[in-house]
Amino acid sequence: MEPYTIDPTSQHDNSIKILVRFHGGGWTEGEAEASIRPFFLELALKHGAVILTPDYRLRPEHELTDGIEDIRSFWKWVEQDAQQVLRKSLPDLELDLANLLVAGESAGGYHTMQTALLSMTNLPIKVLFVQYPILDMAGLLELADEPNPPGAPAPDLLSVKVPYSVVEDHLAALEPGKICTRAKFGTRMHLVNAMILAKRFYDISGDKAWINPMTSLETAGKLPPILLYHSKDDEKAPWTFTERWATKLRELQPDVPLYLTYPSGDHVFDVNDTMETPWLKEPLEFVQKYWPAKQGT
């Protein structure tokens, strides 16, 4: 786990806000420092924030629950140890643990939402910034039987049928005990394909139902404000899963401020966007209503 810092001392006081970002990659690939969106860097610089972005264990070397436990451990680290790490490079600065934005794209959006749904931290989250996530885990597995979800493009990662033996061969070739927390983007989507088609990506039955945000929402405490966006052209994660979750949120927690929007583009359409990108202006205004919080709020 690496904290990536932007030194705000030239523009801000010594109280440093926190922007946590979880990377995507289908729970199977990705690296913490890769593909941080330009608008997050700009947002952190504007408000004098430190960006914290962790790696976590990946499928298929590990279970999805192992990655979730790594996210829990990360939050424990933020609460107990992050200040000491910051002092090593910026000794005069103090983390403002009450000024927290949590963000993530795709699988990272899943971890962002589950952070709040499963109460992974006692720190007060001011706003969730959730980009084209998978929030209906049952729906994802059902793509094996119905690859064309109504109203959404067929996911291109299922356009070629990869047998599960590819996953078995991958695992057999590993050195014993190898831990995998990092893999280059775009190198392992065939493994996602095989695990979905075999319905062996994860288990959400019985006492593991909480792995599905559609289920964990039912027992969640009061959620913070949420920015949630997803392209209706998304070729990897059906936008209808996001709509389904948002509808349930409105039923169960109608008072939670929710900014839900459906821009155009492919799955990672925002990869080069800045704070000046036209479609982002209103969503970022929503985010900045809540983060950074004014003193005493």
163: preceding bond cis by omega (within 30 degrees): no
**Which structure tokens are listed for 197?**
């088609």
Identify the bridge partners of residue 258 per DSSP, sorted by sequence position. 226
Would 50 be classed as within a structural domain?
yes
Whole-model pTM? 0.95
Task: Tell me the one-letter amino acid at 199.
Answer: K
CATH number of domain containing 78 = 3.40.50.1820
Task: Tell me the one-letter amino acid at 157.
Answer: L
50-79 confidence digits (pLDDT tens): 999 999 999 999 999 999 999 999 999 999
DSSP H or E segment with residue 104: strand 94-105
Would 282 be classed as within a structural domain?
yes
Would 295 be classed as within a structural domain?
no
Mean pLDDT, the chain, whole residue set: 93
Would 297 be classed as within a structural domain?
no
Averaged pLDDT, 173-201: 96
Q: What pLDDT score was predicted for residue 9?
A: 47
**Which structure tokens are listed for 297?**
């709020």
Would 225 be classed as within a structural domain?
yes
Q: What pLDDT score was predicted for residue 91?
A: 86
The band of 151, judged by pLDDT with boundaries at 50, 70 and 90, is confident
Averaged pLDDT, 146-173: 88
198-249 confidence digits (pLDDT tens): 999 999 999 999 999 999 999 999 999 999 999 999 999 999 999 999 999 9
**Which structure tokens are listed for 95?**
């983390």
Note the Cα 55 to chain centre separation in Å. 12
Structural domain including 68 reads 2-290
Q: What pLDDT score was predicted for residue 275?
A: 98
Would 252 be classed as within a structural domain?
yes
Overall domain count for the chain = 1
Averaged pLDDT, 142-160: 82
Task: Of 33-42, 99-108, 149-158, 257-266, give the lowest mean pLDDT range.
Answer: 149-158
Would 260 be classed as within a structural domain?
yes
79-97 confidence digits (pLDDT tens): 999 999 888 888 888 999 9
Would 80 be classed as within a structural domain?
yes
The sign of the torsion formed by the CA atoms of 84, 89, 90, 96 equals negative
Asked if residue 91 lies in contact with residue 12, where contact means CB atoms within 8 angstroms, the answer is: no
Q: What percent of the chain has pLDDT over 90?
A: 84
Q: Please determine, for residue 133, whether its predicted confidence score (pLDDT) is greater than 90.
A: yes
* Residues with Cβ within 8 Å of residue 103, at least 6 apart in sequence: 19, 20, 21, 22, 40, 112, 128, 129, 130, 131
